[in-house]
Amino acid sequence: MAKCLVIDNGSLSLKVGFSSQDSPKAIIPTLVGRNRNGESDVIAVGDEASERRAELLVSSPLSRGVVNDTAWDDMERLWRHAIDTVGVDPSETRILLSEPYYFPAKSRTKLMEIWFEKFNARSIASCTAPLLSLLSSGTSTGVVVEIGESLSNVIAVTSGGVERSHGTYKNFAVTGNHITDNLCRLLSFRGFSLGTRSAVGREIVRDIKEQLCYVAFDHKEENDLSSTLEKVYTLPDGAEVRLAEERFQATEPLFNPDMLGLECSALHTAISDAITRSAIDMRRDLYSNIYLCGGSSMFPGLPDRIEKELIAVAPPKAPVQVVHERTAPYSTWLGGAVLGLLENRKVWVHDLDYKELGAEQTASVETAPCNPYA
């Protein structure tokens, strides 16, 4: 069986590795860097672009999981950097890529063009990220709650598939970026304007978020205890930032999005809606397998808060259970690794298919994974 390279195209980072491994071989920031003098040439990608944030103008080619129309050259550079980093020849390896749930046909067409024409790929699979995340859990039925840096989704999956017409997919608006923005705002009330003017400052706020923020089980009760919750974060220059109620207030918009002026359902409401719009005989299984994934699902207290809020609105005997693994930030990659071991599945587009059908016809092939355990 030919090797399979799995690339999870995240807005924050690319997770890259072989399907025979149990974790990504490389995690590469989804960033490119240009000179600030207006020159358009990219001079740094990935880790180098991240490390040179202070001197370069850095950007990501991805927005809400989709490559921006004017950023395909940047994405190509990142993919080339990824395959160079792991030392693989795409003409000798199968390539499995993740894509968001609603992926424009024109984007998949462009993806196929780049991999087959620029990288001379042997075989390509472009697969739906939330379904790959569920595959990594070893099941084919559950609610996938994906909270990423720039894209969040709630999707009810039954037997490896999603009935799109029944409303079992919910585009949940609050993302990791929103939580970072909220923490920037809260810190500004303490006199720290770290994330408002520079990429470096925003990266510091994101690190504070990841190290110190959590989800309150009861927001009102936590406010009453806030004076006992103070933690200190030391800035690169040695200055200290003290946080108390900001630690849980930053994440509260997950359950109260109106705090940010967002017109969308709360997280638990989106989950409940996705389940109740699924077939009635599947709802019990869905309640008992609510699967969290994405880097912004890692806040301590999040699973318990979701369970609490869902129990309050679910039928009395619904077996509400939230599954959250430490591998949640790269569960999409792990699901791709599972799928990549199954060479005969009908998810692969081969170079001969591309030459015969062309990019548009090839891209129209439905490659989203169904149940690999059937």
Tell me whether residue 123 is in a domain. yes
Output the six-digit token pair for 64: 């809400």
* Residue 18 shares a structural domain with residue 113: yes
pTM here is: 0.90
Query: What pLDDT digit, counting tens, does each position of 266-321 carry?
Result: 999 999 999 999 999 999 999 999 999 999 999 999 999 999 999 999 999 999 99
Residue ranges in the chain whose pLDDT is less than 70: 1, 38, 160-171, 195-197, 343-345, 365-374
Question: What is the Cα–Cα distance from 145 to 129, expressed in whole angstroms?
Answer: 11
The one-letter code for the residue type at 164 is R
* Residue 183 shares a structural domain with residue 279: no
Query: What's the distance, CA 121 to chain centroid?
Result: 25
| Secondary structure of 82-144 as H, E, C letters | HHHHHCCCHHHCEEEEEECCCCCHHHHHHHHHHHHHHCCCCEEEEEEHHHHHHHCCCCCCEEE
* Residue 158 shares a structural domain with residue 237: no
pLDDT of residue 102: 82
pLDDT of residue 365: 58
* Residue 55 shares a structural domain with residue 145: no
pLDDT of residue 237: 87
pLDDT of residue 373: 40
pLDDT of residue 275: 94
* Residue 29 shares a structural domain with residue 113: yes
pLDDT of residue 374: 43
* Residue 303 shares a structural domain with residue 286: yes
Task: Give the side-chain half-sphere CA count within 13 A for 222.
Answer: 20
* Residue 319 shares a structural domain with residue 338: no
Residue 159: domain span: 137-172+265-326
- Per the DSSP assignment, residues forming a β-bridge with 161 are 158
* Residue 218 shares a structural domain with residue 312: no
Cα of first residue to Cα of last residue in the chain, in angstroms, is 21
Among the candidates 203, 232, 253, a domain finishes at 253
pLDDT of residue 347: 80
